């Protein structure tokens, strides 16, 4: 994959970043619950072939075309066809290479590349898994697997973690070709940003930009990491520099709106939000923002609907509603909490003593604007309030984000 790297994959997939909304960044004492979307439905040719019953008269085996190598080795022919965008022929020759040398990791990795580019993700997963079972350090298989899990497949914590692991393995081993390093670092930056690990994302974006200063993908990941780290002045400059980029202008406007909103410049922020929605309506739909009074009422209803034991734990712990997280709350942790957190638990867990500096020493807050932006409908907003409240009660009881994620309260 050294000839083409990630750029060719991005061009084939029309974008190098998932189109689904990214999860809200986790924090050390606050929720990270993203709106739950419908599972992606594979299109024709995606994933495994449809299962046909033995008696189905419409079933036809569709064998791959004969690999025409023109005198080259099948693996070299597969790579040449891929570079030319002839994906079916690339797959055919990669399959022949794997059949002739079943223990050649590079052949199975090349199959994975072609299958992923054809949208046959389930088969690509198996091809990459076989390549890495043969050679856990195969750089093409590591890059392809990292890209598949962290970029191509719909976002989830487990996929992002797996993509980051593959990319980091590729970056850490001595045998990785130097030309693959920026591609691995870019995928790692994407995965770490989706996982809410902004410091790691910023470091990986720096690796890319040191080698490819004009990489728009790396510049975007850097801007996002700066925003998540509450380095707002730097983030503002970084996102402003992306407004002339057709693929990332919408995200630039959205984040500039978020930055202006934090300054209380509501009208100026709305101009950017409207522009982002105009450029990418699917990514930035109008949020179902209730009035302040309506939101407080929804929070009160969610508290009243809690099980008795949870309401008991909240005895003496006020649950309030605010517009956005304050800088002081975000910067109280290191690294800082994400500006997009949906809620926050302040204070020590139950059973631990208070330091006496505040009364009450424990409290829960839910953020109206962030919650509304995490969903698409009023019904989803009610559910998100409930889940966020459960998340914060988990922190009240002493659970950390990893434990809460394991229980489905990410």
The DSSP annotation for 97-109 comes to HHHH-TT-HHHHH
Q: Please tell me whether the peptide bond between 247 and the residue prior to it is cis, using omega within 30 degrees of 0.
A: no
Q: Closest Cα to residue 91, out of 144, 130, 127?
A: 127
Dihedral sign (CA 320, 391, 204, 244): negative
Q: Which one has a higher pLDDT value, 93 or 410?
A: 93
Can you give the pLDDT at residue 409?
79
Domains of the chain, earliest start first: 72-279 (1.25.40.10), 292-406 (3.30.2010.20)
Task: Indicate if the pLDDT at residue 7 is higher than 60.
Answer: no
- Mean pLDDT (the chain, rounded): 87
Give the lowest-confidence range in 53-57, 326-330, 405-409: 53-57
pLDDT of amino acid 62: 77
What is the value of pTM for the model shown?
0.84
Q: Which of 60, 64, 144 is nearest to 109 (CA)?
A: 144
308-319 average pLDDT score: 95
- Cα distance between residue 244 and residue 239, in whole Å: 10
| Percent of the chain clearing pLDDT 70 (strictly above) | 85
The pLDDT score that the predictor gives to residue 28 is 37
Confidence of residue 355 (pLDDT cuts 50, 70, 90): confident
Q: What is the pLDDT of residue 59?
A: 57
pLDDT at 15 exceeding the cut of 50: no
Q: Kindly state the average pLDDT of the residues 191-198.
A: 96
Render pLDDT for 273-304 as a digit per residue (tens, 0 to 9): 999 999 999 999 999 999 999 999 999 999 99
The per-residue pLDDT for range 114-124, each reduced to its tens digit, is 999 999 999 99
- Would the pLDDT of 383 be above 80? yes
CA distances from 252 to 75, 202, 259 (A): 41, 17, 11
- Residue 401: its pLDDT value, please? 81
- The string of pLDDT tens digits covering residues 124-155 is 999 999 999 999 999 999 999 999 999 999 99
The set of residues, in sequence order, having a beta carbon less than 8 Å from that of 255 and lying 6+ positions away, is 223, 224, 227, 235, 239
């Amino acid at each position: 994959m050294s000839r083409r790297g990630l750029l060719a994959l991005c061009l084939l997939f029309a974008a190098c970043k998932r189109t689904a909304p990214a999860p809200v960044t986790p924090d050390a004492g606050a929720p990270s619950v993203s709106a739950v979307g419908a599972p992606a439905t594979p299109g024709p040719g995606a994933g495994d072939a449809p299962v046909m019953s033995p008696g189905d008269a419409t079933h036809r085996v569709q064998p791959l075309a004969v690999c025409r190598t023109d005198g080259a080795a099948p693996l070299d022919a597969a790579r040449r066809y891929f570079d030319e965008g002839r994906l079916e022929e690339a797959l055919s020759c990669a399959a022949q290479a794997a059949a002739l040398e079943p223990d050649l990791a590079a052949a199975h990795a090349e199959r994975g590349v072609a299958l992923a580019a054809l949208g046959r993700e389930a088969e690509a997963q198996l091809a990459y898994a076989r390549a890495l079972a043969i050679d856990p350090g195969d750089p093409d298989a590591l890059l392809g697997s990292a890209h598949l899990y962290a970029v191509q497949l719909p976002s989830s914590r487990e996929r992002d973690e797996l993509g980051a692991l593959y990319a980091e393995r590729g970056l850490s081993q001595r045998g990785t070709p130097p030309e693959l390093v920026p591609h691995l670092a870019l995928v790692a930056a994407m995965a770490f940003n989706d996982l809410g690990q902004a410091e790691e994302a910023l470091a990986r974006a720096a690796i890319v930009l040191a080698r490819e200063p004009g990489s728009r993908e790396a510049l975007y990941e850097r801007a996002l990491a700066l925003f998540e780290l509450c380095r707002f002045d730097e983030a503002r400059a970084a996102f402003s520099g992306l407004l002339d980029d057709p693929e990332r202008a919408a995200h630039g406007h959205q984040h500039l709106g978020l930055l202006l909103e934090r300054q209380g410049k509501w009208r100026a922020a709305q101009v950017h939000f409207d522009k982002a929605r105009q450029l990418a309506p699917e990514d930035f739909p109008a949020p179902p923002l209730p009035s302040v009074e309506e939101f407080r009422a929804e929070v009160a209803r969610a508290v009243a609907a809690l099980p008795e034991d949870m309401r008991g734990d909240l005895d003496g712990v006020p649950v309030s509603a605010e517009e956005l997280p304050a800088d002081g709350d975000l910067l109280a942790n290191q690294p800082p909490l994400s500006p997009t957190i949906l809620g926050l638990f302040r204070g020590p867990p139950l059973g631990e003593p208070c330091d006496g500096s505040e009364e009450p020493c424990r409290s829960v807050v839910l953020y109206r604007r962030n919650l509304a932006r995490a969903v698409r409908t009023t019904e989803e907003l009610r559910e998100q309030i409930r889940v966020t409240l459960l998340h914060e009660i988990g922190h009240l009881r002493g659970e950390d984000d990893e434990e809460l994620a394991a229980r489905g309260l990410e």
